[in-house]
């Protein structure tokens, strides 16, 4: 697969279906609500423009919404992380900056960097999602615990997907 | 000058973000409303097709449980047949009943997609407007109250279940007909809430709560739940009740959509009175 955009497109389709038909249907508990599709926004190239990221986020979010009766809520949260992505990347920038030949994945950047990157992104995404979904202030601790437990499961799934789909680059 | 361009660029990003955000949040808020067009949900033909396929694959996993529920309902209905009563008096006479007129019809449907762990939970049904389902109809299962239809396409329908922030259903106490609104606060899948209950109403834990009827959607007496906890705060005029919901929303496979045959008549009559006021 030489062209990275074919890879991204296939990955887009896979994530939408995996989220809509599998992850969405695991109704274990109110605290268990993982979302894996933000991974697509995370692994876009470092120098990718904000406007283009937001366009992808809008399409991705609305596709997931179509599968889960979200009516635009997934799109809203995904737009937020697309807009915040440059800021997040700046916060956790390594000492000598980013190498543009690499992509923000586990294999290129290492599990520790990816862990902090993914958890920051997911916390913002999930917190926004659950806060808008509930839309009330009196359940703040419920909202926090729901966010934290769901982020843990999302992280697990995202790490699994990365290890399954990405092979270590040949050196 | 370069500073200005940099500022304008950053401002443009923020502006686009705000516009898109307003757009999707408007979709979200409209989506929870009954009478508004909805862009994306599982009643569309393409997504509905995928949901149907997913259901075809996974239905065998819970066939046993679904069959058990149907059998229990059959057994209960069989018990209501005239032939299952012992005749105490002599001959009974059958009359062609002109005093009763059928008010409710039930359209059977299968749940092909469902959630129960969100703040608003929806079911997708495999029946739509071609089977006579309309927006606003009530939905029940063999166990009790399920929800209200909020969107239909030709072959699919979306039900907002009792596990939603925005739903309120007229319910009453079975024993003494005191009536309230039942809603859900999003904290527990099994517990619904009734607020603003007067303190002098005689009630006990375990009392049955049923639908009130008269709201065009549900007939009277469909089980909604039982009182599981009475929450009273000092200094407040009213108390609130926690209701153990009758339906286990993790295991709903077959439902009935309720068609009220006298609905238009009721609406016309009520509108005439509203116009006079």
Position A60 pLDDT exceeds 90: yes
Question: How far is the C-alpha of A130 from the C-alpha of A88, rounded, in Å?
Answer: 20
Confidence band of B148 (pLDDT split at 50, 70, 90): very high
> Could you tell me if residue A171 is inside a domain?
no
> Could you tell me if residue B88 is inside a domain?
no
DSSP element (H, E) containing B50: helix B45-58
Per the structure, how many domains does chain A have? 1
Which range, of A20-34, A114-128, B182-196, averages the lowest pLDDT? A20-34
| Beta-carbon separation of A54 and B118 below 8 A | no
Measured at the CA of A165, the angle between CA A46 and CA B41, to 5 degrees, comes to 80
CB-CB contact of B244 with B226 (8 Å) = yes
Confidence band of B5 (pLDDT split at 50, 70, 90): confident
**Best residue in B111, B117, B158, B190 to probe A by mutation, most A CBs within 10 Å?**
B117
> Could you tell me if residue B23 is inside a domain?
no
> Could you tell me if residue B14 is inside a domain?
no
Which range, of A155-164, B60-69, B241-250, averages the lowest pLDDT? B60-69
Which range, of A33-37, A70-74, B41-45, B242-246, averages the lowest pLDDT? B41-45
pLDDT computed for residue A1 by the predictor: 47
> Could you tell me if residue A11 is inside a domain?
yes
> Could you tell me if residue B180 is inside a domain?
yes
CA distances from B197 to B108, B182, B190, B240 (A): 35, 11, 20, 6
| Beta-carbon separation of A20 and B50 below 8 A | yes
> Could you tell me if residue B204 is inside a domain?
yes
DSSP element (H, E) containing A161: helix A140-165
Question: How far is the C-alpha of B104 from the C-alpha of B222, rounded, in Å?
Answer: 13
CB-CB contact of B171 with B183 (8 Å) = no
Averaged over A63-70, what is the pLDDT? 84
Confidence band of B276 (pLDDT split at 50, 70, 90): confident
Averaged over B216-226, what is the pLDDT? 89
Question: How far is the C-alpha of A119 from the C-alpha of A121, rounded, in Å?
Answer: 5
Place of tokens 């607020």: B195
pLDDT computed for residue A16 by the predictor: 92
> Could you tell me if residue A69 is inside a domain?
yes
> Could you tell me if residue A119 is inside a domain?
yes
pLDDT computed for residue A79 by the predictor: 94
pLDDT computed for residue A77 by the predictor: 94
Inform me whether the C-beta atom of residue B49 falls under 8 Å from chain A C-beta atoms.
no
Angle between helices B45-58 and A50-68 (to 10 degrees): 60
**Contacts for B186 with CB less than 8 Å, ≥ 6 apart:** A30, A134, A139, A142, B119, B165
Write out pLDDT tens, residues B195-213. Answer: 888 888 888 899 999 998 8
**Contacts for A147 with CB less than 8 Å, ≥ 6 apart:** A123, A126, A127, A130
Position B32 pLDDT exceeds 80: no
Write out pLDDT tens, residues A143-157. Answer: 999 999 999 999 999
Q: Which two tokens stand for residue B43?
A: 């009643």
Contact residues on chain B for A28, CB-CB shorter than 8 A: 117
Averaged over B150-157, what is the pLDDT? 88
Inform me whether the C-beta atom of residue B41 falls under 8 Å from chain A C-beta atoms.
yes
β partners of residue B104: B260
Confidence band of B42 (pLDDT split at 50, 70, 90): low
Place of tokens 């006579």: B132
Range of the structural domain that residue B203 is part of: 169-245
Contact residues on chain A for B20, CB-CB shorter than 8 A: 54, 58, 79
Confidence band of B40 (pLDDT split at 50, 70, 90): low
* Cα B171 off chain centre by: 12
Question: How far is the C-alpha of A130 from the C-alpha of A144, rounded, in Å?
Answer: 9
Range of the structural domain that residue A18 is part of: 4-165
Which range, of B39-53, B144-158, B262-276, averages the lowest pLDDT? B39-53
Q: B271 to chain A nearest CA, in Å?
A: 32
Position B92 pLDDT exceeds 50: no
Q: What is the DSSP letter of B217?
A: S
Inform me whether the C-beta atom of residue B216 falls under 8 Å from chain A C-beta atoms.
no
pLDDT computed for residue A145 by the predictor: 92
Question: How far is the C-alpha of B188 from the C-alpha of B163, rounded, in Å?
Answer: 9
CB-CB contact of A79 with A61 (8 Å) = yes
Question: How far is the C-alpha of A108 from the C-alpha of A74, rounded, in Å?
Answer: 28
pLDDT computed for residue A83 by the predictor: 94
β partners of residue B151: B158
pLDDT computed for residue B210 by the predictor: 92
* Cα B56 off chain centre by: 24
Contact residues on chain B for A54, CB-CB shorter than 8 A: 16-17, 20
Cβ-count burial of B228 within 10 angstroms (0-12 exposed, 13-18 middle, 19+ buried)? middle
Question: How far is the C-alpha of A33 from the C-alpha of A10, rounded, in Å?
Answer: 24
Question: How far is the C-alpha of B235 from the C-alpha of B182, rounded, in Å?
Answer: 23
pLDDT computed for residue B90 by the predictor: 47
Write out pLDDT tens, residues A113-138. Answer: 999 999 999 999 999 999 988 887 78
Q: What are phi and psi of A67, to 5 degrees?
A: -80, -20
Question: How far is the C-alpha of A72 from the C-alpha of B113, rounded, in Å?
Answer: 19
In three state form, how does the secondary structure of B71-100 look?
Answer: HHHHHHHHHHCHHHCCCCCCCCCCCCCCCC
Averaged over A47-61, what is the pLDDT? 91
Position A88 pLDDT exceeds 60: yes
Inform me whether the C-beta atom of residue B110 falls under 8 Å from chain A C-beta atoms.
no
Report the CATH number at residue B227.
Answer: 2.40.10.350
Averaged over B63-82, what is the pLDDT? 79
> Could you tell me if residue A109 is inside a domain?
yes
Inform me whether the C-beta atom of residue B33 falls under 8 Å from chain A C-beta atoms.
no
Contact residues on chain A for B31, CB-CB shorter than 8 A: 69, 71-72
What DSSP line would sit under B171-200, residue for residue?
EEETTT--EEEEE--SS-TTEEEEEEEETT
Position B53 pLDDT exceeds 60: yes
Write out pLDDT tens, residues B166-178. Answer: 888 999 998 888 8
CB-CB contact of A72 with B24 (8 Å) = yes
> Could you tell me if residue B12 is inside a domain?
no
Among A32, A51, A72, the residue with its CB nearest the CB of B25 is A72
pLDDT computed for residue B85 by the predictor: 59
pLDDT computed for residue B18 by the predictor: 93
pLDDT computed for residue A155 by the predictor: 93
Nearest CA in chain A to B188: A30
> Could you tell me if residue B211 is inside a domain?
yes
Average pLDDT over chain B, rounded to an integer: 83
DSSP element (H, E) containing A41: helix A38-42
Instruction: Considering only residues B101 and B193, tell me which one the structure prediction assigns the higher pLDDT.
Output: B193
Position B187 pLDDT exceeds 50: yes
């Amino acid at each position: 697969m030489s062209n990275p955009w074919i890879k991204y497109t296939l990955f887009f389709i896979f994530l939408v279906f995996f989220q809509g038909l599998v992850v969405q249907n695991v109704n274990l508990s109110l605290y268990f609500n993982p979302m894996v599709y933000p991974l697509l926004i995370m692994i876009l190239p470092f120098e990718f423009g904000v406007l283009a990221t937001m366009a992808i986020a809008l399409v991705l979010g609305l596709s997931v919404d179509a599968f889960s009766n979200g009516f635009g809520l997934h799109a809203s949260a995904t737009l937020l992380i697309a807009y915040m992505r440059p800021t997040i990347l700046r916060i956790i920038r390594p000492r000598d900056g980013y190498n543009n030949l690499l992509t923000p994945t586990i294999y290129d950047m290492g599990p520790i960097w990816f862990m902090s990157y993914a958890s920051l992104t997911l916390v913002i995404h999930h917190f926004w999602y659950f806060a808008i979904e509930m839309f009330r202030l009196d359940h703040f601790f419920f909202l926090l615990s729901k966010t934290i437990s769901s982020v843990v499961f999302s992280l697990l799934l995202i790490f699994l997907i990365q290890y399954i789909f990405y092979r270590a680059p040949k050196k | 000058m370069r500073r200005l361009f940099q500022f304008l660029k950053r401002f443009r990003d923020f502006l686009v973000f705000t516009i898109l955000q307003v757009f999707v949040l408007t979709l979200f808020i409209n989506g929870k409303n009954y009478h508004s067009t909805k862009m994306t949900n599982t009643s569309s033909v393409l997504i509905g097709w995928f949901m149907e396929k997913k259901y075809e694959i996974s239905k065998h996993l819970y066939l046993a449980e679904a069959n058990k529920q149907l059998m229990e309902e059959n057994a209960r209905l069989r018990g209501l047949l005239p032939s299952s009563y012992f005749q105490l008096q002599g001959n009974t006479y059958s009359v062609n009943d002109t005093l009763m007129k059928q008010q409710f019809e039930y359209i059977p449907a299968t749940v092909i997609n469902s959630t129960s762990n969100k703040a608003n939970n929806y079911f997708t049904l495999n029946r739509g407007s071609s089977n006579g389902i309309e927006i606003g109809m009530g939905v029940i299962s063999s166990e009790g109250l399920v929800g209200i239809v909020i969107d239909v396409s030709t072959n699919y329908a979306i039900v907002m279940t009792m596990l939603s922030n925005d739903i309120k259903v007229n319910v009453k106490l079975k024993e003494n007909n005191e009536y309230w609104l039942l809603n859900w606060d999003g904290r527990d899948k099994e517990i619904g809430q009734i607020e603003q209950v007067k303190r002098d109403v005689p009630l006990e834990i375990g009392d049955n709560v049923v639908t009130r009827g008269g709201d065009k959607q549900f007939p009277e007496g469909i089980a909604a739940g039982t009182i599981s906890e009475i929450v009273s705060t000092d200094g407040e005029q009213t108390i609130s009740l926690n209701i153990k919901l009758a339906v286990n929303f993790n295991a709903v496979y077959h439902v009935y959509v309720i068609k009220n045959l006298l609905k238009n008549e009721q609406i016309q009559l009520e509108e005439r009175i509203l116009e006079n006021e």
